[in-house]
Structure 1
Amino acid sequence: MAERDDLLRSIAATTADYREGDLAAPTPEHVERWINQFDGLVQLPILREMDHVLKRTYFSRKGTRNFLSGLFQTEKLVGSDACAFWKGVKFLDIQGRGASQKEMLALFSKILEKQCGFGTDDCGADPTAFVYLDDAIFSGGHIRNDLTKWIANDAPDGTILHVIVIALHTSSYYNRNKVAEAIKASGKSIDVKWWRATELEDRKAHTTTSDVLRPVAIPDDEVVKAYVAAMRYPPSLRAAGNVGGNGIFSSDAGRQLLETEFLKAGVRIRQMCPNLNQYQRPLGNMILETLGFGSLIVTFRNCANNAPLALWAGDPWHPLFPRTTNSDTSMKRFMAMLAKDVF
């Protein structure tokens, strides 16, 4: 049991600041309750793989702050005078859903205040460029909606827009192209530059080398087989033998374990949780009818519904990462933490 106890402690420690100030800090007992929902024989292997994965996909408060601190002085973006660059840009606060943009702006404002003596609200009186800052892009649907409205209604002609996130999934190219189409339709000249620290491959054409959960086979499980049989089209399966370009998984065997067990759990969760909509697939929210988006990115502020249901779905399932959909509560909690200089 020593290894199991060590893994429970390690996962709790990696995710220690998840929704801090909003939820009790994760404990080994919390992780234990989550893993006990899986078959006994796979519990220890799942813990091993999740301990490895979360060290690469969980963006802590400190990690996010480090990203923003690095962003502040990225010479390719800001040139030789960081304060002058940031003073000249206007930060967009146009997110239609959620609080991630407001929270990222509040955190970056703290960095600007420390480094330059002004915050994000003091910038862009006569903007030389615009900045859309967020934590991650999954399918890109939200950012498409935000930016197409801004382009049509408020964006000036002949400007630059910097879209900056920690992580970006490549399949978002479809919605990024829709942003380009909106610019063309507007008749304006807007140069969009996309910036990210990490890019995760999730396109259908690159399933085998992807960085998300894409099973190699349908498990020999009657409930899963019935779910797949009810799909209009057969799911795209991955060829075995690849852990993806970002090395998120410890091995292909470890990856296949998560793909299989999270798929099985996700199908059962859909049966037991009546409030899930049709797009909340076993491996994560996705408009297209697939087994799910399959992302394993989690930030200290929330878990996206594009992650497998096994990570975030609620009662009667016990989630490893309980999600919040109340952006007002999230923002109040975040600002209270900033006021106490937690960051």
Structure 2
Amino acid sequence: MKDTASLISSLVAVVRDYGNMGFNDEHVQRWLDQFPEEHHKVILTELGNILDKAYLSEMETKRMISEIAADRNIFPEGVGEVRFMDPKQGKGTQKELLQLFDAVISEEHGISIEECGRGEPASYIYIDEAIWSGDRFISGMRTWVREFDDLHAISRMDIIVLAVHTRDLDYITEQMGKILPYTRISLWHFIEFENRLQHAKKVFEGYWPSSGLGYNEETTDYISHIVKMKSRTRDKEIPILRKSAHPKSDAYFTGSMNRKLVERLFLEKGVEIANHMKKPEVYMKPMGYDASRTLGFGSYLVSYMKISEHCPLVLWWEGDGWYPLFPRNEYEGPHPM
């Protein structure tokens, strides 16, 4: 295993362009020092391995946007024939992506996204960074369709995201079918994180702490509180902690023992953060924002624009005595999809 300094430098090389903040070795070391020193190398090794696959740099994001703009499956009659949903109302990462897309099609097609789809278009485009649980996305879609007197007027809807999490994808698909019953709906994405809780025996691409690890008292109490909020049937179907031997496949962590250690450290520190928030929020869980009764959503995804609240608190929370690895100050906005 590399020494700590080399591991820090390797991590910085992957995420150097995050947030225009001058991400450097000293910043990583300050964050790392909040964990026991004997675990620093494992944390850096595993986090570096995850982000090497799950981090979206500005260069990679621009490449994806260019591919989308040139895709004739999405734009069979050219970009000028579709309407982009709410190009002026996007916030946070969505606003950034719309600006990138606008720059690409302006250069390559000589038209802006505001000029696209003038008149009465039948085809619409929704662009955002990712789909997580989908709650806010579905809520926004319900609001948007109220603008139409006749839903038959929306013949096609293309949802374009850089990444998708599969946990609630069936729910999202079902709800979209109800919201737009006469519309042909397509979902386009580059990265897929398989994080269906029911499929965790085979694969689970997200942070989900394991059972049987002997968590500290504060964490054990926190887990017990979540368990009491769930019905016995639901807890058996989707347990709070994943089974120790699952998943069988893992492309992000280097090994099961390291995964268990890192997830335990992130959970215990996350519980500490959650319990000491000055303004606690019921859905802000140790492993990330989640309205479901879990320990948190646990997303791996981080982009150069902003880290999602669906990622573990230890990575982005700032304040209440905690120093973040990925500060969210640069891009304030609503909770992601």
TM-score by length of 2: 0.87
Mapping of residues 107-256 of structure 1, within 5 Å: 107-126=100-119, 127-154=121-148, 157-173=153-169, 174-184=171-181, 189-208=182-201, 209-220=203-214, 221-231=216-226, 232=228, 233=230, 235-242=240-247, 244=249, 247-256=251-260
User: What SS class does the counterpart of residue 212 from structure 1 fall into?
Assistant: coil
More deviation, 129-138/3-12: 3-12
More deviation, 217-226/294-303: 217-226
Letter in 2 for 1:237: R
Please give the alpha-carbon distance, in whole angstroms, between the structure 2 residues aligned to 1:309 and 1:323.
11
Please give the alpha-carbon distance, in whole angstroms, between the structure 2 residues aligned to 1:236 and 1:103.
36
| 1:77 paired residue among 55, 66, 74 | 74
Letter in 1 for 2:131: I
| 1:47 paired residue among 35, 44, 47 | 44
Q: Deviations over 1:239-291 (max 9, x none)?
A: 4253756x222222332222111111111111233223111111111111211
1:10 Cα shift?
1.8
Gaps of 5+ in 1: 329-343
Gaps of 5+ in 2: none
Answer whether contact 1:266 1:282 (CA < 8 A) is retained.
Answer: yes
| 1:34 paired residue among 26, 31, 50 | 31
Residues 1:318 and 2:323 aligned together: yes
User: What SS class does the counterpart of residue 324 from structure 2 fall into?
Assistant: coil
1:94 Cα shift?
6.9
Q: State the match for 1:12 in structure 2.
A: 12
Answer whether contact 1:104 1:135 (CA < 8 A) is retained.
Answer: yes
Q: 1:319 to 1:218 in 2, by over 3 A?
A: farther
User: What SS class does the counterpart of residue 161 from structure 1 fall into?
Assistant: strand
Residues 1:285 and 2:285 aligned together: no
Q: State the match for 2:57 in structure 1.
A: 60
Please give the alpha-carbon distance, in whole angstroms, between the structure 1 residues aligned to 2:133 and 2:88.
15
Q: State the match for 2:277 in structure 1.
A: 273
Please give the alpha-carbon distance, in whole angstroms, between the structure 2 residues aligned to 1:171 and 1:197.
17
Please give the alpha-carbon distance, in whole angstroms, between the structure 1 residues aligned to 2:23 and 2:111.
35
Higher helix share: 1
User: What SS class does the counterpart of residue 19 from structure 2 fall into?
Assistant: coil
More deviation, 174-183/34-43: 174-183
More deviation, 58-67/145-154: 145-154
Letter in 2 for 1:3: D
CA RMSD of superposed structures (Å):
2.2
User: What SS class does the counterpart of residue 132 from structure 1 fall into?
Assistant: strand
Q: Deviations over 1:278-323 (max 9, x none)?
A: 1111111111121111101111111111100110111110110111
1:65 Cα shift?
0.4
Q: Deviations over 1:215-235 (max 9, x none)?
A: 221532211111112222351
User: What SS class does the counterpart of residue 277 from structure 1 fall into?
Assistant: coil
Answer whether contact 1:95 1:143 (CA < 8 A) is retained.
Answer: no
Answer whether contact 2:54 2:301 (CA < 8 A) is retained.
Answer: yes
More deviation, 302-311/233-242: 233-242
TM-score by length of 1: 0.85
1:102 Cα shift?
2.0
Answer whether contact 2:122 2:154 (CA < 8 A) is retained.
Answer: no
Answer whether contact 2:200 2:246 (CA < 8 A) is retained.
Answer: no
Q: State the match for 1:86 in structure 2.
A: 79
Answer whether contact 2:167 2:194 (CA < 8 A) is retained.
Answer: yes
Answer whether contact 1:218 1:224 (CA < 8 A) is retained.
Answer: no
User: What SS class does the counterpart of residue 185 from structure 2 fall into?
Assistant: strand
Answer whether contact 1:95 1:101 (CA < 8 A) is retained.
Answer: no
Q: 1:158 to 1:122 in 2, by over 3 A?
A: closer
Answer whether contact 2:301 2:307 (CA < 8 A) is retained.
Answer: yes
Q: State the match for 1:341 in structure 2.
A: none
User: What SS class does the counterpart of residue 302 from structure 1 fall into?
Assistant: coil
Q: 1:85 to 1:97 in 2, by over 3 A?
A: closer
User: What SS class does the counterpart of residue 77 from structure 1 fall into?
Assistant: coil
